[in-house]
A and B are shown apart, each in its own frame.
Chain A
């Protein structure tokens, strides 16, 4: 099914594809690395410049920007504990821990290597199987999304750290935050305090930047003895053979979950990142290292992000249905050149599709080259004296958070979540479950209610849909295993207390 000569011909017909791929990657990394500038905004900013351009080069530019932005988010996640994009939030956990251990260069190498592998896998599927795979997206009903969401939430049970109860509390608070805004079925206002800024809810990136980046700034400022500048590696270090062998399982997990999430409209990369983080932990030989600088904890979410950035194009091109905001901007890129994505795209504009495929392949090389060039200055920047570094992180957060909706109110919310994150650390409440609740809450609620309207209130509908049934069984299995492990551990610690 690979039409290599078709791709070559498209490349010869519009050689602008090559610079477009490089420019897209560079621009994407810049936008992705800035907190608050999402991949879709980064892409949308380019749309006006593509009007006059060659259509093939235009879509290649946008698609490369998507990959660049998904990768770019991981750079500040690792270096300054600030997720640049929603889907980089899972990378913060182990990426920043590795940086704190002076292994920033290694962490960046793992993230680049994993993003590349994930997107190679995704691009291969995109090129070979777009039309048959697009049909898979159709298998997802509202019930299936509930299954997917519950599976995501079940991760709370295993990522709650020392206290399951506190993890549940944090998860519930996350779900509560997700109910802020207008109701998905009736359009009523909920928990908005009559403030129009809250009508569309609290963007998850505000929560993430608040509880990770801002809380870390509070924490650093409140260290009694000033922590010294970290002596991080001076340059990016790609994983050696031993490390590559260790990362393999987590990367396969990440790539497969990313592939599935990219395919299902509404799934989105953030869920893929967290799900694959959790699965990588479950299947790891060293699960205890997760959260304390595990290389696999970077590899899994980053390979998932890489895969999503390619497979999200499958339902967009094959069905004309964008699965995410970023895919929707790319759809816009097709539309403004008079092409309508959908089943007919492949017959009507075959050359453009081939050009896009060729561009996706080139963008993989572009990512490697551009990342190598920019990572060294990035590492240099974070090794500046600590008071400057902290001041600039703070300035970056204040600027980026404003950019989401041009709203100072949002800057205030991010600061508030900084306080909440700091308080949660003080009370030893895990923050990860809250992020999951915020990310998944709306999807679970809207589809749960939709499914019940369809089934006339019958909950059996979740068992009748095979996808939902499988996902729910897996989710409850996970919860059960975590509960058993939790009670076994707490029994042990009780005995220790008694014997002491």
Chain B
């Protein structure tokens, strides 16, 4: 063994290691690239929400945002990954009620209680829809059909708010319907369009391209009041089905997110919601801006979790 060779090797290797191991200059925000994770598959609700927000957020916050799909277990995987991440502002998770349902229903190793809600961004109205050429014209038609034979209703994910809405519709109307779950919204949409399913439930933004093309018909809004964008579509309550939900869209990160990161986000989200270019996009998608600051959002999510837990227990879904 040649000593010279070894010395050269060791010397250059050390220089190399020091130079390239990624010691980065500090910016004001502790990270220059921020990952936004979602459990929804590409093309699903949260995925589109993030992908449409990211270019505007890039501009407003001056950081580089990237979307990562951590699918699997309706968010169980994503929650586990995010809860384990360093609280350095580098990774956040797009929260929807799904992460609360998954936490309660499937006992994953990390639950919504292991994450820290950051801020809320939107409320997202849920709508029930069917193929434009199907025989169902109102929600009542769907219920009547399910009473007479057996309904086939689709929800995008195994354990989700959408599934719960359908289960509640079943309880409220006393019908027997198969609730089928998929690997995300795009997957389910195909099965509504080809009449495998009677109805699907989802957010406006997921179905917008098909709705504009006249391939889908919206039967009911699952909220408290009709939508600005769809003034002619009655709510479920108006049609005699007493089910209404409020789907939130926000962000959550690992516990102990530093205050300066929180502050940057509270400012950034308010700015981006007021941004005219982004406003045009989200209004078109039927989203309602609903900024909730960090401290209140923590309470909001905790309350939502409590209500959901009570409901699931009362229906005997969980112990």
Q: A residues bordering B, Cβ < 8 Å?
A: 44, 47-48, 51, 137-142, 181-189, 194, 196, 199-201, 265-266, 319-322, 325, 327-329, 331-332, 335-336, 338, 340-345, 446, 450, 453-454, 456
Given contacts A266-B183, A319-B210, A340-B208, 7 further A-B contacts (CB under 8 A): A138-B190, A199-B108, A200-B70, A320-B186, A321-B189, A322-B42, A335-B52
B-side contacts of A446, CB under 8 Å: 183
- Which residue of A has the minimal Cβ distance to B131? A138
- Measured CB to CB, the closest approach of chain A to B33, in angstroms, equals 9
Contact B194 A182 (CB under 8 A): no
Contact B208 A182 (CB under 8 A): no
B105, CB-defined interface residue at 8 Å: yes
Contact A142 B43 (CB under 8 A): no
- Measured CB to CB, the closest approach of chain B to A189, in angstroms, equals 7
Contact B187 A344 (CB under 8 A): no
B-side contacts of A327, CB under 8 Å: 42
Rounded to whole angstroms, the CA-CA distance of A322 and B69 in the bound complex is 14
Contact A320 B210 (CB under 8 A): yes
Which 5 pairs from chain A and chain B are nearest by CB?
Answer: A342-B209, A328-B42, A182-B73, A343-B213, A200-B72
Contact A343 B215 (CB under 8 A): yes
Which of B74-82, B134-142, B253-261, B303-311 faces chain A? Answer: B74-82
Q: Name the one of B51, B70, B190 contacting A137, with C-beta atoms under 8 angstroms.
A: B190
Q: List 29 A-B contacts (CB under 8 A).
A: A51-B58, A142-B196, A181-B77, A182-B73, A182-B76, A183-B73, A183-B158, A185-B181, A186-B158, A187-B105, A187-B106, A188-B106, A189-B73, A194-B109, A196-B84, A196-B109, A319-B193, A319-B210, A321-B187, A321-B189, A321-B190, A328-B69, A332-B51, A336-B54, A341-B209, A342-B212, A344-B209, A453-B180, A454-B180
B110, CB-defined interface residue at 8 Å: yes
Contact B110 A196 (CB under 8 A): yes
- Which residue of A has the minimal Cβ distance to B150? A456
Contact B213 A342 (CB under 8 A): yes
Contact A450 B180 (CB under 8 A): yes
Rounded to whole angstroms, the CA-CA distance of A182 and B74 in the bound complex is 9
Contact B42 A331 (CB under 8 A): yes
Contact A199 B190 (CB under 8 A): no
With A454-B152, A454-B178: A343-B196 Cβ-Cβ less than 8 Å: no
Residues 39-78 of chain B: 1 if any A CB is under 8 Å from the residue's CB, otherwise 0? 0011100011001101100100000101101111110110
Rounded to whole angstroms, the CA-CA distance of A194 and B48 in the bound complex is 31
- Which residue of B has the minimal Cβ distance to A321? B186
Rounded to whole angstroms, the CA-CA distance of A419 and B148 in the bound complex is 58
B-side contacts of A199, CB under 8 Å: 72-73, 76-77, 80, 108
The majority secondary structure among interface residues of chain A is loop
Rounded to whole angstroms, the CA-CA distance of A72 and B91 in the bound complex is 31
| Residue total for B at the interface (Cβ-Cβ under 8 A) | 55
- Which residue of A has the minimal Cβ distance to B185? A321
A-side contacts of B181, CB under 8 Å: 185, 450
Rounded to whole angstroms, the CA-CA distance of A141 and B188 in the bound complex is 10
- Measured CB to CB, the closest approach of chain A to B201, in angstroms, equals 16
A-side contacts of B74, CB under 8 Å: 182, 187
Per the 8 Å Cβ criterion, residues 193-211 of B in contact with A are 193-194, 196, 208-210
With A187-B74, A265-B187, A450-B182: A196-B43 Cβ-Cβ less than 8 Å: no
With A196-B110, A200-B72: A187-B158 Cβ-Cβ less than 8 Å: yes
- Which residue of B has the minimal Cβ distance to A50? B55
With A187-B76, A342-B213: A325-B52 Cβ-Cβ less than 8 Å: no
- Which residue of A has the minimal Cβ distance to B73? A182
- Measured CB to CB, the closest approach of chain B to A76, in angstroms, equals 24
Rounded to whole angstroms, the CA-CA distance of A301 and B151 in the bound complex is 42
With A47-B66, A344-B212: A328-B43 Cβ-Cβ less than 8 Å: yes
Q: Name the one of B55, B76, B109, B215 contacting A336, with C-beta atoms under 8 angstroms.
A: B55
Rounded to whole angstroms, the CA-CA distance of A327 and B152 in the bound complex is 29
Rounded to whole angstroms, the CA-CA distance of A189 and B72 in the bound complex is 10
- Measured CB to CB, the closest approach of chain A to B132, in angstroms, equals 11
Contact A189 B76 (CB under 8 A): yes
Rounded to whole angstroms, the CA-CA distance of A97 and B194 in the bound complex is 45
- Measured CB to CB, the closest approach of chain A to B22, in angstroms, equals 13
- Measured CB to CB, the closest approach of chain B to A448, in angstroms, equals 13
B-side contacts of A201, CB under 8 Å: 72
- Measured CB to CB, the closest approach of chain A to B41, in angstroms, equals 8
Q: Name the one of A51, A139, A196 contacting B77, with C-beta atoms under 8 angstroms.
A: A196
A-side contacts of B76, CB under 8 Å: 182, 187, 189, 199
B159, CB-defined interface residue at 8 Å: yes
B281, CB-defined interface residue at 8 Å: yes
B102, CB-defined interface residue at 8 Å: yes
B270, CB-defined interface residue at 8 Å: no
B-side contacts of A266, CB under 8 Å: 183, 187
B288, CB-defined interface residue at 8 Å: no
Contact B73 A187 (CB under 8 A): yes
Q: Name the one of A181, A341, A343, A456 contacting B73, with C-beta atoms under 8 angstroms.
A: A181
Contact A325 B51 (CB under 8 A): no
Rounded to whole angstroms, the CA-CA distance of A213 and B105 in the bound complex is 41
- Measured CB to CB, the closest approach of chain B to A341, in angstroms, equals 7
- Which residue of B has the minimal Cβ distance to A336? B55
- Measured CB to CB, the closest approach of chain A to B134, in angstroms, equals 13
Rounded to whole angstroms, the CA-CA distance of A325 and B215 in the bound complex is 25
- Measured CB to CB, the closest approach of chain B to A393, in angstroms, equals 21
Contact B64 A48 (CB under 8 A): yes
Contact B178 A196 (CB under 8 A): no
A-side contacts of B180, CB under 8 Å: 142, 450, 453-454
B-side contacts of A184, CB under 8 Å: 158, 183
- Measured CB to CB, the closest approach of chain A to B43, in angstroms, equals 5
A-side contacts of B69, CB under 8 Å: 325, 328
- Which residue of B has the minimal Cβ distance to A443? B183
